[in-house]
Chains A and B, each alone.
Chain A
Amino acid sequence: MQLGFTPAEERFRSEAAGWLEAQLSGPFRDLRGESTFSAHLERRLEWERALGAARYGCIGWPAAYGGRDATLAEQVIFAEEYARAGAPWRIGHMGVELAGPTILAFGTDAQKARFLPPIARGEEFWCQGYSEPNAGSDLANVRTRAVLSGQGAQRRWVIDGQKIWTSLAQFADWCFMLVRTEEGSRGHKGLSYLLVPMRQPGVTVRPIRQMTGEAEFNETYFTGAVTDADHVVGAPGDGWRIAMGTLAFERGVSTLGQQMGFRNELDAIIAAARANGMVGDPLIRQRLAHAHIGLKLMRYSALRMLSSAQAGRLSNEAYTYKIFWASWRKKLGELAVDVLGPAAEVAAPTYEWELLPRLFLGSRADTIYGGTNQIQRNIIAERALGLPKEPRGS
């Protein structure tokens, strides 16, 4: 147990902080504090490329693939500084935090060489093709099919089916997806994990408007879409295991940077409460304190997970991290609008929202995506607490 950082780590902190400050008070001034998922798309993509060029895109990855071989402590430091600087939400998130780590953990050398550097440089963007109309919580029910066809160098996967809720598919170059590759198979068996180019005639993306008014997720149709025969991660038929690996990243500490960003939301709430006097209300004060405590606990828990991951162990905390932060943030959204009062409910003429009402609306999704709270509870109860499984319907 030891909380301090080494002098080398502190040097890394000031170097990273210096770079971020220079960028966000200079060429990327307009993006400081940008908290939407995808507004100002072109500028957001430029920002990802700037991060890549400075090798701050994926610092934990091996240098050979564009990373810095950063230690876990340095990754914590970078996440903290990134949030402190008010740098924008990362539109490259799906590649950086999900596709990349999955390929790094399970991919072939050729796949790593092909896919990782462009993610690290901020040049290729990814989306996640898991959910389908009939496969949400019950993800093993996916029906999208892929078959190998053609000979020799022409051998390709041909994909048919529909994905849904595919976030950022409209901007993505690639999709990592879970598909059924064994005719007649059911459940977890017969699934494969494919990497599929999005910009091809066989892929159609239709945005779906969300309750926030924005349209970040999509229906994604695959009709005879193709990808190379060797763009399968893990063996064909082993897709479930790989997909669960990605979900572990999505539910785990890869999202540390995101939670660090929540500090800015809480600070905005505190500023609003000071401005309108709500900071003196004893009930609001208790909720402010709860919010501060939850935020700190996320950080401590992330440090715990990082430390045990470094030692090659999975701490129990890992099972509870996602439900903890997601539930916390939903409460934060409610606190935000309670502090603001009726003013929170007035939108811009185009139904656009300021930070805090957007937090209120947007946070309703946190307990749905990446495995709903109910599914997280099932996982905690069955895997961490060892309680009996429920019988599966037919």
Chain B
Amino acid sequence: MQFEHTEEQLMIRSAARELLESYDSARLRAAIGAPGGYEAALWQQMGGELGWCGLALPERYGGAGLGWIELCLLQEELGRRLVASPFFASAVLGAALVMECATEAQRQELLSPLARGQMRFGCAITGPGGHPAPQGVDAEITSAGASLRLSGVADFVIHGDTADVLLVLAREGGGLSLVSIPAGTSGVHVIPHVMMDLTRPMSRIEFQDVTLGADARLGAPGAAALPLERALDLARIALAAEAVGAAERVLEMTGDYLKQRVQFGRPLGSFQALKHRMADLMTEVEAAKSAAWYAACAAQERPEECAEAAAIAKSYCCDAFYSCAAGSVQLHGGIGFTWEHDAHLYFKRARASATLLGSPVWQRERLLRVLGLGAAATPAF
């Protein structure tokens, strides 16, 4: 038992932190304004020389063969800087969906380009009602001779507008299937939203009688429900790691401000009311780290604990991030309410991360189900 990152893991973290040191507010804002809402050069670097996109992929797909613990360290560092990037949609959620649902040949085909940084996934797994997948899936597959026909609507698709391939969850027969669709396929309409969280663009996607080959289906017909759960848990765990990094960073920013801002003739940080609020936030952040790190270990070593660990990490870390980001707005005073200051970017990301893949309330209800405590009315989101 060694519940601490190894030297090699810490090196991955410090290399990532160093690289992202220059990803400051100006760069983040430039990325937000860029086409697709991210910085193309950084994305190329991640997929190319840095090899981040393939970090957790098996070597047979051109990956580095490391695991979810390492991937989550990157997620923490990306979270610290609120990096706007297709990384989560592609190398986390998309990769997990393909790994869990697809056949070996399909994995080769989809993951090898990802490992080289030449694949952006858009994961269309959420229905227009916004319920956590697979609830409320609207898209439906029907067979039309040797081919498939896809109709319906998916929404809240992260980086859906710039994806190379869409991974679409759809009802088929009595079950669920996942299909992969190249961008630009006829009948696919991508409608980008203006999102509250400026750092994670999302789109609504409409499918109008899209005709697909049978090989578009990843895995067996109607069999995606079970592997989907595991893929979602892996993504939740990585999202929790991202939240922890962001929470820690926004708390640091707030602490720095309180040390430097003087009112009533003394630094604000010397007032006990503010110190105590900061101490409570740090207590949450430290517990959140424990949650995220344990969940990353569970993802790697203990599949049987994955659902529980994911529900714990996703709910606790997103709550902690929200507390820190909300605290940051408050403790910065007027400047914290401006567009110019970064506090709102963290606050909005915190809200968006909490909602994504099942809110903290939803995760806690799910946790009780996992623990065998029955089910009350399932929370909507």
**B291 is an interface residue with CB less than 8 A from chain A:** yes
Within residues 311 to 370 of chain A, which ones have a CB less than 8 A from any CB in chain B? Answer: 311, 316-317, 319-320, 323-324
Q: Mask for A268-310, Cβ within 8 A of B = 1, else 0?
A: 0010001000011110011011101110110011011011100
For the complex formed, measure the closest distance between the CB of B306 and the CB atoms of chain A, giving whole angstroms. 12
B2, B301, B368 — which one has the most chain A CB atoms within 10 A of its CB? B2
- Name the contact of B3 in the complex, choosing from A286, A296, A300, A385 (C-beta under 8 A): A300
**A377 is an interface residue with CB less than 8 A from chain B:** yes
**A79 is an interface residue with CB less than 8 A from chain B:** no
**Is the pair A280, B376 in contact by a Cβ cutoff of 8 Å?**
yes
For A289, what are the chain B residues with a Cβ–Cβ distance below 8 Å? 315, 364-365, 367-368
- Count A interface residues, CB 8 Å: 53
Of all chain B residues, which has the CB nearest A311?
B4
**Is the pair B5, A1 in contact by a Cβ cutoff of 8 Å?**
yes
**Is the pair A378, B364 in contact by a Cβ cutoff of 8 Å?**
no
Query: A2-B297, A300-B293, A300-B294 are contacts. A388–B259 as well, Cβ < 8 Å?
Result: yes
Within residues 229 to 279 of chain B, which ones have a CB less than 8 A from any CB in chain A? Answer: 255, 258-259, 266-267, 269-270, 272, 274-276, 278-279
**Is the pair A320, B364 in contact by a Cβ cutoff of 8 Å?**
no
**B43 is an interface residue with CB less than 8 A from chain A:** no
Query: A288-B368, A381-B278, A390-B270 are contacts. A297–B287 as well, Cβ < 8 Å?
Result: yes
For A73, what are the chain B residues with a Cβ–Cβ distance below 8 Å? 1
**B371 is an interface residue with CB less than 8 A from chain A:** yes
For A374, what are the chain B residues with a Cβ–Cβ distance below 8 Å? 276
**A386 is an interface residue with CB less than 8 A from chain B:** yes
Query: A1-B4, A3-B1 are contacts. A293–B368 as well, Cβ < 8 Å?
Result: no
For B367, what are the chain A residues with a Cβ–Cβ distance below 8 Å? 289, 292-293
**A376 is an interface residue with CB less than 8 A from chain B:** yes
For the complex formed, measure the closest distance between the CB of A328 and the CB atoms of chain B, giving whole angstroms. 9
A1, A289, A306 — which one has the most chain B CB atoms within 10 A of its CB? A1
**Is the pair A280, B275 in contact by a Cβ cutoff of 8 Å?**
no
Query: Could you tell me the distance between the alpha carbons of A290 and B319 in the complex, rounded to whole angstroms?
Result: 11
For the complex formed, measure the closest distance between the CB of B284 and the CB atoms of chain A, giving whole angstroms. 9
For A282, what are the chain B residues with a Cβ–Cβ distance below 8 Å? 365, 376-377, 379
Query: Could you tell me the distance between the alpha carbons of A2 and B365 in the complex, rounded to whole angstroms?
Result: 28
**Is the pair B4, A384 in contact by a Cβ cutoff of 8 Å?**
no
**B282 is an interface residue with CB less than 8 A from chain A:** yes
For B290, what are the chain A residues with a Cβ–Cβ distance below 8 Å? 297, 300-301, 303-304, 317
For B275, what are the chain A residues with a Cβ–Cβ distance below 8 Å? 377-378, 381-382, 385, 387
B6, B280, B315 — which one has the most chain A CB atoms within 10 A of its CB? B280
**A392 is an interface residue with CB less than 8 A from chain B:** no
**A380 is an interface residue with CB less than 8 A from chain B:** yes
For the complex formed, measure the closest distance between the CB of B369 and the CB atoms of chain A, giving whole angstroms. 10
- Name the contact of B287 in the complex, choosing from A2, A281, A324, A378 (C-beta under 8 A): A324
Query: A3-B1, A300-B294, A317-B286 are contacts. A390–B272 as well, Cβ < 8 Å?
Result: yes
For the complex formed, measure the closest distance between the CB of A4 and the CB atoms of chain B, giving whole angstroms. 7
- Name the contact of A301 in the complex, choosing from B266, B276, B286, B297 (C-beta under 8 A): B286
For the complex formed, measure the closest distance between the CB of A315 and the CB atoms of chain B, giving whole angstroms. 8
**B45 is an interface residue with CB less than 8 A from chain A:** no
**B302 is an interface residue with CB less than 8 A from chain A:** yes
**Is the pair B279, A304 in contact by a Cβ cutoff of 8 Å?**
no
- Name the contact of A385 in the complex, choosing from B4, B255, B266 (C-beta under 8 A): B255
Of all chain B residues, which has the CB nearest A9?
B1
Query: A9-B1, A286-B364, A304-B290 are contacts. A387–B259 as well, Cβ < 8 Å?
Result: yes
**A198 is an interface residue with CB less than 8 A from chain B:** no
**Is the pair B301, A2 in contact by a Cβ cutoff of 8 Å?**
yes
**B354 is an interface residue with CB less than 8 A from chain A:** no
Of all chain B residues, which has the CB nearest A2?
B2
**A5 is an interface residue with CB less than 8 A from chain B:** yes
**B116 is an interface residue with CB less than 8 A from chain A:** no
**Is the pair B312, A293 in contact by a Cβ cutoff of 8 Å?**
yes
**Is the pair A387, B270 in contact by a Cβ cutoff of 8 Å?**
yes
**Is the pair A389, B270 in contact by a Cβ cutoff of 8 Å?**
yes
**A195 is an interface residue with CB less than 8 A from chain B:** no
**Is the pair B3, A307 in contact by a Cβ cutoff of 8 Å?**
yes
For B255, what are the chain A residues with a Cβ–Cβ distance below 8 Å? 385-387
For the complex formed, measure the closest distance between the CB of A310 and the CB atoms of chain B, giving whole angstroms. 8
Query: Could you tell me the distance between the alpha carbons of A388 and B297 in the complex, rounded to whole angstroms?
Result: 37
Query: Could you tell me the distance between the alpha carbons of A304 and B361 in the complex, rounded to whole angstroms?
Result: 27
**A85 is an interface residue with CB less than 8 A from chain B:** no
- Name the contact of A387 in the complex, choosing from B258, B289, B300, B377 (C-beta under 8 A): B258
**A76 is an interface residue with CB less than 8 A from chain B:** yes
**B298 is an interface residue with CB less than 8 A from chain A:** yes
**B103 is an interface residue with CB less than 8 A from chain A:** no
Query: A1-B69, A280-B376, A377-B276 are contacts. A297–B270 as well, Cβ < 8 Å?
Result: no
Of all chain A residues, which has the CB nearest B371?
A292
For B3, what are the chain A residues with a Cβ–Cβ distance below 8 Å? 1, 3, 300, 303-304, 306-307
A-B pairs, 8 with minimum CB distance: A289-B364, A381-B275, A380-B279, A377-B279, A300-B290, A388-B270, A303-B3, A387-B269
A residues neighboring B (CB under 8 Å): 1-5, 9, 72-73, 76, 270, 274, 279-282, 285-286, 288-290, 292-294, 296-297, 300-301, 303-304, 306-308, 311, 316-317, 319-320, 323-324, 374, 376-378, 380-382, 384-390
Can you report 27 A-B residue pairs in the complex whose CB atoms are below 8 A from each other? A1-B4, A1-B5, A2-B1, A72-B1, A279-B374, A286-B361, A288-B373, A289-B315, A289-B368, A290-B364, A296-B294, A297-B287, A297-B312, A297-B316, A303-B290, A303-B294, A319-B282, A377-B279, A380-B279, A381-B278, A384-B279, A385-B278, A385-B282, A387-B269, A387-B274, A388-B259, A388-B270
Contacts A1-B2, A279-B373, A293-B315 known; 11 new A-B pairs at CB < 8 A: A1-B297, A280-B376, A281-B376, A286-B364, A297-B316, A304-B4, A316-B282, A317-B286, A320-B279, A377-B275, A387-B274
